[in-house]
Amino acid sequence: MTNTGKNSLMQSVRPVADPILATIKRDVEAKLPPTLKDGYDRIIVAGLKIMFSPETHAMALRALQEAIQRRDISSGVALSTVTLIGMVYKASQGKMSIAAAFPAAIVLMCYVFEFLEGAQKITITPPLVAKTTSAVTQGVLKLFGITQQQFAQGIEESRKQASAPVSPSSPVPPSVPAGGA
């Protein structure tokens, strides 16, 4: 797909309207390294296609309704979001950027929340979003077999690389993660 095609796909993605969720989406995208942008965009577009496809929409809606009935909205949204990331990964035949999956999962979580809020099933609150964000992150770590220690090491390494000066002789900027986007 050409860059223009991807841009037009992302432009067709409707914005998140809830102010709490819109702030999260804006913050995630503002902090997104340029090296992950393409992978992130692909995951968001694919995730929304799966989320609203006739084949999977009813199944996801049932799971979310069960969570609401159990009054466990956070777990239901987290499970739906992580399942969605897993479906995108499977559809990509393992080629999806795992690094881009984390910010994409948080934004897809916002779309799941907004869907429920639009159906007047829930009210979005900061504590609910915080609890669910933690559950989504833990779920994505588990999905890809990443331990908390590996995750913490990766964060620390990224911080070190981001603060390291770039040598003119360096072939790759230090902020580019191993494996690319």
Q: Is residue 10 part of a domain?
A: no
Say which DSSP state 166 is in. P
pLDDT in tens, 123-174: 899 999 999 999 999 999 999 999 988 888 877 776 666 555 544 443 333 3
DSSP per-residue codes, 56-104: HHHHHHHHHHHHHHTT-HHHHHHHHHHHHHHHHHHHTTT-S-HHHHHHH
Establish if 180 belongs to a structural domain: no
Residue 167 domain flag: no
Give the chain's mean pLDDT. Answer: 79
For the stretch 74-109, pLDDT in tens is 988 998 899 999 999 999 998 999 999 999 999 999
Residue 15: what pLDDT? 73
Q: Please tell me the predicted confidence (pLDDT) of residue 71.
A: 72
Note whether residue 12 is domain-resident.
no
| Closest alpha carbon to 142 in 81, 67, 82 | 82
Number of domains making up the chain = 1
CA distance 124 to 176: 35
Q: Tokens 């915080």 correspond to what residue?
A: 130
Strands (E) in the chain, as ranges, are: none
| pLDDT at site 119 | 72
d(CA 114, CA 16): 7
Q: What is the per-residue pLDDT across 3-19, written as a single tens digit (0 to 9) for each? A: 444 444 455 566 778 89
CB 57 within 8 A of CB 51: yes
Round to whole Å and give the CA distance between 32 and 40. 9
- Report yes or no: 109 and 78 within 8 Å, Cβ to Cβ: yes
pLDDT value of residue 164:
56
Residue 1 lies in a domain: no
> Quick one: pLDDT at residue 3?
44
In a domain, 150, yes or no: yes
Distance CA 62, CA 79 (A): 12
Domain assignment present for residue 4? The answer is no
Instruction: Tell me which residue range forms the domain holding 134.
Output: 18-161
pTM of the predicted model, to two decimals?
0.77
Query: What does the alpha-carbon distance between residue 42 and residue 81 come to, in Å, rounded to a whole number?
Result: 16
| Amino acid 139: pLDDT | 95
Span 29-84, pLDDT tens digits: 999 999 999 999 999 999 999 888 877 767 767 767 776 677 788 988 998 899 99
Q: CA nearest 133: which of 159, 112, 161, 164? A: 112
Instruction: Please state, in angstroms and rounded to a whole number, the distance separating the CA atoms of residues 141 and 181.
Output: 17
Nearest-angstrom CA–CA distance, 22 and 129 = 12
Residue 64 lies in a domain: yes
Helix, strand, or coil here: 156? helix
